[in-house]
A and B are shown apart, each in its own frame.
Chain A
Amino acid sequence: MINAKPTLRSTLHALLYLAPLLLITATFTIWPVINSFLMSCYTKYNYFTDHVGALGGADFVYLWHDPDFHLAVRNTLILVGGVVPLTVLLALGAALLLNRINWLAGFFQALYFLPFVTSTVALALVWNWIFHRDNGLLNLLLSWLGIAPIDWLNDPRYSLLALIIVCIWRGLGFSVILFLAGLNNIDQRYYQAASIDGASSGQILRQITLPLLTPTTVLITINAIIANFKVFDQVYALFHGSAGPANADLTMMYYLYQKFYIEHQYPVAAASGVILFGLIVSLTALSFWYFHRRSLRLGGGR
């Protein structure tokens, strides 16, 4: 059956089975995407009556000249550039350590995973306390190192760093679990052969673990890029519905929210969504290309 040649009848049959999911995807994913693309080209648009007065690229021109949008792109790129590599490195480190211990491994896995399933409001409350200038835990720890208190959430120089820390903490657990799954998939015979050959643990890590973890690393990197390009709720909750001091934490997603829900500039919001979409697609493609080239260079390839 599996190897049978596809016919029109069998294709229709398969489509019938796929229809419910395709219908849901088309209604809730594809149609909104098409609609946002269309809306980004409306220049005189009444959102409620759906009346389009004119079409054109004025919304993109607006974004091109809007300093707030430039700031949002800059902040988002810094955020992604800061969070993604650190999340991958820290998650890999944590997964390698967790993989070595048997005792309490489950407990630590659950501990790492907790931030991922905690509500954003709860995490904002906790992090508001950690980052508090006068009574915060972080400043207490820094004071032991002789560092003067930092106003993490009110000083525009530090508030983006605060957001980066929260985003890393939030996404770490999920990445650790994925890395652990990747590590478990590596055939133990490679390690046995390496130890017979007398390879050091550093060599084993560089020559066996890391190359064989490449597919998982790609998955985690792509996942982290997408998730961090779309950061919104952490900003909203951490800064009580604002984009941080002096807009220092204005991300592209937050900009979109402001334009849509606060300023009611619906086509501009749609245009910013289109640019966000383009950026995510480009960076995802770039990462794919990089990892593909790297695995080819290592002699692997898929």
Chain B
Amino acid sequence: MKRLRQLLLLGLCLLTTATLLSACVNHQKSSANPRVTVTFWHGMTGANKTTLNKLIHDFNQSQTKYKVVGRSQGNFSNLQQKITAAAKSKTLPTIAQTTYTNVPDYVAGGFVTSFDPYLSQSTLSDIYPAFLQANKYHGKYYTLPFSKSARVLFYNQDLLKQEGLSLPQTWGDIQKMGPALKAKGLTTMVFDQSYDAELDGLVAQSGGHLYPLNGKVTLDHKQTVAATHVIWDMLQNKTATTAGNDGYGSTKFFAGKTLFYSGSSAGISVMQASTPKGMHWATAPLPSYHGKQATAISCNDIALFKSASTAQRKGGAAFVKFLMRKKQTIYWAEKTGYVPLVKSAQKNKGYHQYLAKNPTAKAAVGSLDFGFQDATFPGYYQSRLALLKTIDAMTTEQVSPEKALSHLQTQMTKIIKAAQ
């Protein structure tokens, strides 16, 4: 027993010495080549996280000044909660994935800083204007685009062929198909639980704004009400439906009795994996309205935090610029299904080959030329929740667009006034 105790003690001493020595060696190593650590919080999981880790690794290999350390915080909701808590406890990372719509709150909280000192015109010239316009708040780039997706029209190729129909070019085409398809027990279109993104697009196509622009709410304008009627009427006459508690319309779309589904291009890989055997579907850009095309773009950006040192900020900006480069953004798009951030990707030979092999990815990229993101403003999230509730009331309680939008107009005006 005594011998065993002596042996254990000796082992412990050796282990402690080894640890101390290795720490010294590491310290010597790091002091010989000091790299600035840039911490990066993101909400990527699974295969997307692996792709992002590869990009982080590539960046770390590409230079000797900075070392980016990526940390997944679980899903986007967890990530946002973590950022809020860290901003309060002053433990923010250097950069984090977030949405540009959070910027007004972050600016008011005084913990975000702009990328402007680290940007040149040439860095931004190739990026789609739809992304950059939204990233700008009070004339500064507090965020830069990262993982972006567009709304696209998924269509059941088998049903379209069976019914002898061609791909709709306008929302009017979709509306016209409804009654005949309904008589055959088919649904023309399914939306996600909320159709706010489609409504956003329709209102933009009619020349209006679903969200306030420069503090002005225009929800009760004739064209906004008329645009809302496009979807509402289809839901009322049961030629279209929403996903309801299924969340995503893909579940109903895959039941095989619905011709079209309007969804996010970010869901393409998941849809491909869960397509029922024998079903064939493809994607197309969303139809036009009033002769105009406009597709809502969504997803995430990257913000730079004030608490980081000047060297860390430089490193963070260098990493974000690295991610926006043509080679990296194409790699990111090919692996994850998000869209490339730069216009020149469309002319890239390798990416063309990728699109030829993956035709379902074409619609989202093709929509970027007429893609748009709503400008953010103080009170954005209150306004958004009010909008989602209004859409829910129009869907589940059949409240007319006239009544619902008039109420929302009053609500949003109040919210904007209070937030200023």
> A residues bordering B, Cβ < 8 Å?
46-49, 68, 128, 151, 153-156, 239-242, 245-247, 258, 261-265
Q: Give the dominant DSSP class at A's interface.
A: loop
Residue contact B396 to A245, C-beta cutoff 8 Å: yes
Residues of B within 8 Å of A245, CB to CB, are 244-245, 392, 396
B118 within 8 A of A: no
B36 CB → nearest A CB, Å: 25
How many A-B residue pairs lie within 8 Å, measured between CB atoms? 53
Q: Which of A47, A151, A156, A264 has the most CB of B within 10 A?
A: A264
B385 within 8 A of A: yes
Residues of B within 8 Å of A49, CB to CB, are 109-110
A sample of 7 more A-B contacts (CB under 8 A), given A240-B245, A246-B393, is A48-B108, A49-B110, A154-B244, A156-B396, A242-B193, A246-B392, A265-B382
Q: How far is B110's CA from A107's CA once the two chains are assembled, in angstroms?
A: 57
Residue contact B381 to A46, C-beta cutoff 8 Å: no
B247 within 8 A of A: yes
> B residues bordering A, Cβ < 8 Å?
77, 80-81, 84, 87-88, 105, 108-111, 193, 244-245, 247, 381-382, 385, 389, 392-393, 396-397
Q: List 28 A-B contacts (CB under 8 A).
A: A46-B108, A47-B88, A47-B109, A48-B87, A48-B110, A49-B109, A68-B389, A153-B245, A154-B244, A154-B245, A154-B396, A155-B396, A156-B396, A239-B245, A240-B247, A242-B193, A245-B244, A245-B245, A245-B396, A246-B392, A246-B393, A247-B389, A258-B385, A261-B80, A262-B385, A263-B382, A264-B381, A264-B382
Residue contact B109 to A46, C-beta cutoff 8 Å: yes
Residue contact B109 to A262, C-beta cutoff 8 Å: no
A245 CB → nearest B CB, Å: 4
Q: How far is B80's CA from A153's CA once the two chains are assembled, in angstroms?
A: 27
Residue contact A246 to B396, C-beta cutoff 8 Å: yes
Q: Give the dominant DSSP class at B's interface.
A: helix
Q: Which of A68, A156, A240 contacts B193 (CB 8 A)?
A: A240
Q: How far is B193's CA from A239's CA once the two chains are assembled, in angstroms?
A: 11
A129 CB → nearest B CB, Å: 11
Residues of A within 8 Å of B381, CB to CB, are 262-264
Residues of A within 8 Å of B108, CB to CB, are 46, 48
Q: How far is B111's CA from A48's CA once the two chains are assembled, in angstroms?
A: 8
Known A128-B245, A153-B244, A258-B385; contact A241-B396, beta-carbon cutoff 8 A:
no
Q: How far is B111's CA from A242's CA once the two chains are assembled, in angstroms?
A: 29
Q: Which of A47, A128, A241 has the most CB of B within 10 A?
A: A47
A66 CB → nearest B CB, Å: 11
Q: How far is B397's CA from A117's CA once the two chains are assembled, in angstroms?
A: 36
Residue contact B110 to A261, C-beta cutoff 8 Å: no
Residues of B within 8 Å of A242, CB to CB, are 193, 392
B413 CB → nearest A CB, Å: 16
